[in-house]
Structure 1
């Protein structure tokens, strides 16, 4: 019988892409999501597949976690409340979901004796460290409640590896973007938000002078990392964390230029839309750039999409699905 994966947050942006990918690889997939930030339209097309099971539930409830994980071989834990500003506005809920919910999933995974627990960590863990590129074993102090929660995840995962023998791998995501990323809501990620504004001929607002830079990472690179982390048989690669990125950085000004240029191929009027500059955002780090040497060496990671390649794919999807 095909192996079974629990994907938490499976109706969200990254989770739904993982569900789709692993169903395509003929795994059995259980998707657990409370639909707080995920959407049924991301997974509706999978519901008719006998290998796919949707469980509507919250990781803050241990019994729900235990029910969802029954019979699973692997966990890909994506469920979390993302966004630095959201965590600053409401640190208690971010902590409940990202720490208590994470601990529930670890306990359920330990009790079910799954083969491996792969989880979404975050580049926010690097905090105030100014060194570039970011290397996994050199972090600074967290700059937001969100960053604290994601670092606590790493500490808990390490304890569960050492104490209970649960195999864990954390993936520190760097500014992931791509199809199915939600452009709506107060905490929308920068790329889909800018895209929707340009498509509506509205001026996007850049926080600061536009010279802050990020390691923007296309969704297919993230899927590759999850698969490698889940299946690696290299013992040296387990019970640790990896940067999940491209290893290249782009300023917000460059990013907006690329988006504008690409979207102008669909609608020439977008080329005339002006950009507005606002104040810097609390909790933001100026620059982010990952070293991906560890993932290459231990997991065989080989990212196929640089920023502009990924943008072409993502913008085509947005134009076709959200215009």
Structure 2
């Protein structure tokens, strides 16, 4: 896979053991790759492979400092076992997708709320874990019209998925106050990049667009395509996780926007991908999707100040890297 050579840590990773839930998934496997490339003492992945792919971690399976547990965060004992002897947890396991949550709110709630609660309970009872970093979501901003999005100003959720991710933040805050757990939430804004699958009913927009361009087909844009997003290349999300592990106590039980602080329309996104592929395919337009926000743009000043988060990849750079990866791996 394509990799950056940026270093996001100053501590010696060979001193620490990490647990990545959802580590066979898109963002999780990119975090795993970074940790292993930088000589982490031990990296354990917990994934039930409902959303992740064994192929994403295939190249790690024979490494002496890598361990894969096929298991479910919906089982408390599994969560407790996975945390044994671990120093830092990156909790990426979740059921994403607004449409999926609208079609099946119960399963989204079971995984994203009950599963998250299991992780918090396991964290509370762990004798070794220093901090858990988890995937929060920009969907928490809901119907708030304020731009850019600032962490303390949110609206009402627009989907069951958004409710589940907001509940994560509430639980993390309460556990911090009640049990003195150390948890950091990262509100991702439309993360994309290598290893993001175009397959399945709930695939994200960028891999779907890339697959369409690769097959010389017109993608379907929901609504008029003028809706804007703060698309975030996955390496920026990896950086945020790594820096969150070791950030000062000021970051404890805080939530941070993780994005580039630049927004483009979905129409512009389609145009950029066409340029990267040296093609000029016109898109089709479909109905507006229920539960979607109209515009999204992050204020990342809090993450810059408290995590030393400095996004290294712009949207255009990320799209070029992702296209290069995608066209060489389209058969996977």
| Structure 1 and Structure 2 fold alike (TM over 0.5) | yes
Does 1:202 find its partner at 2:217?
yes
Tell me the secondary structure at the aligned position of residue 148 of structure 1: helix
- The superposition leaves residues 217-236 of structure 1 with CA deviations (integer Å, 9 ceiling, x where unpaired) of 0011001100111111x222
Give the match for residue 294 of structure 2.
286
Alpha-carbon separation, structure 2, partners of 1:154 and 1:274: 40
Superposed, 1:113-132 pairs within 5 Å as 113=127, 114-132=129-147
- The superposition leaves residues 228-275 of structure 1 with CA deviations (integer Å, 9 ceiling, x where unpaired) of 11111x2222211000000000000100000001011xxxxx32x221
Give the match for residue 8 of structure 1.
21
- The superposition leaves residues 119-140 of structure 1 with CA deviations (integer Å, 9 ceiling, x where unpaired) of 0000000000000000000000
- By how many angstroms is 1:2 displaced? 2.9
Do 1:249 and 1:288's aligned partners in 2 also have CA atoms closer than 8 Å? yes
Give the match for residue 276 of structure 2.
262
Runs (5+) with no aligned partner, structure 2: 1-13
Alpha-carbon separation, structure 2, partners of 1:88 and 1:54: 31
Aligned match for 2:234, one of 205, 215, 219 = 219
Does 1:65 find its partner at 2:79?
yes
Does 1:79 find its partner at 2:93?
yes
Does 1:23 find its partner at 2:31?
no
- The superposition leaves residues 25-63 of structure 1 with CA deviations (integer Å, 9 ceiling, x where unpaired) of 211110000000100000000001110000000000011
Alpha-carbon separation, structure 2, partners of 1:75 and 1:224: 15
Alpha-carbon separation, structure 2, partners of 1:33 and 1:137: 32
Give the match for residue 195 of structure 2.
180
Does 1:302 find its partner at 2:310?
yes
Does 1:167 find its partner at 2:175?
no
Superposed, 1:74-153 pairs within 5 Å as 74-113=88-127, 114-153=129-168
Do 1:30 and 1:52's aligned partners in 2 also have CA atoms closer than 8 Å? yes
TM-score by length of 2: 0.94
Alpha-carbon separation, structure 2, partners of 1:99 and 1:299: 26
Runs of 4+ in structure 1 off by over 2 angstroms are: none
Does 1:43 find its partner at 2:57?
yes
Tell me the secondary structure at the aligned position of residue 54 of structure 1: strand
- The superposition leaves residues 49-82 of structure 1 with CA deviations (integer Å, 9 ceiling, x where unpaired) of 1100000000000111111111101110000000
Superposed, 1:239-254 pairs within 5 Å as 239-254=253-268
Give the match for residue 267 of structure 1.
none
- The superposition leaves residues 173-210 of structure 1 with CA deviations (integer Å, 9 ceiling, x where unpaired) of 00000000011111000000010011111110000111
Aligned CA-pair RMSD? 0.9
Do 1:2 and 1:26's aligned partners in 2 also have CA atoms closer than 8 Å? no
Runs (5+) with no aligned partner, structure 1: 265-269
Alpha-carbon separation, structure 2, partners of 1:33 and 1:44: 13
Alpha-carbon separation, structure 1, partners of 2:135 and 2:197: 18
